[in-house]
Homo-oligomer: A and B are copies of this chain.
Amino acid sequence: MTIRYPSGQQPPNAGRAGQPIVAPHSSSFAKRGMSLEKEINDANRYYLATEQAVIYKKPTPIQLVKVDYPKRSAAVVKEAYFKRPSTTDYNGVYQGYYVDFDAKETRGKLSFPLKNFHQHQVDHFRRCLAQGGVCFAFIRFTTLDLTYLLPASDLIAFWDQQGRGGRKSVPLTTIKDRGFRVKAGLNPVLDYLPALDQLIAANQAKGADHE
């Protein structure tokens, strides 16, 4: 099946002059996220082209310090620094829902270390949930080749108990129990909308329980 990308979109692997330079992250775990991130971006491009969802990775925020404006050619950034984002990396709209998530990989086999997340990301999840957003962590256990969507509410519960002297990681058994597995697909390779459908359905069932 040939995908026609919307105007302005580049097909996967069409970066100019080889590999794009990727912004560094403060966490030493950042590199582990490369492959998952690429698969998510490919899936989002596919969902956009097939009109299934409109979800983008946000650009890395940059603090500009020096910009040259040469005559008759494009502006050149000469000095700039990476800023820490205030939000998570991905958001968009899917079937009327505001969707918001971050992607993390771990080599652990028994649990997902909470240090993969930052306070500002958890705070952002909390605010989006309060506004009725669908929020989750996209977690991959690279060694086990297992990928789950863990509802942000579960992540937040573990985050908060950590501050009260609790454990510093979420057990894989909990993620299997509370999360929704993303199974490998063909096109896209990471077909995560079925897992997202399950997460949304579970949210609604939970909401109905409280009524």
Interface residues of A (CB under 8 A from B): 6-9, 16, 20-21, 23-24, 48, 51, 53-54, 56, 58-67, 69, 74-82, 84-87, 91-100, 119-120, 123-124, 127-128, 130-133
Contacts and interface: CB of A to CB of B under 8 A. Distances in A.
Nearest to A23: B64
Contacts of A63: 16, 20
A98 B92 contact: yes
29 contacts: A6-B123, A7-B123, A8-B86, A8-B123, A16-B63, A20-B64, A21-B65, A23-B64, A24-B67, A24-B75, A56-B87, A58-B59, A59-B61, A59-B85, A75-B81, A75-B82, A76-B79, A76-B81, A78-B78, A78-B79, A80-B80, A91-B91, A91-B92, A94-B131, A95-B131, A95-B132, A96-B98, A97-B98, A97-B132
Contacts of A95: 131-132
Greatest chain B CB density within 10 A among A23, A60, A98 is at A98
A210 to B, nearest CB: 15
Nearest to A24: B75
Nearest to A131: B93
Contacts of A92: 91, 98
A119 to B, nearest CB: 7
Contacts of A61: 59
Contacts of A98: 92-93, 96-99
Nearest to A120: B8
A123 B67 CA distance: 30
Nearest to A56: B87
Greatest chain B CB density within 10 A among A23, A93, A99 is at A93
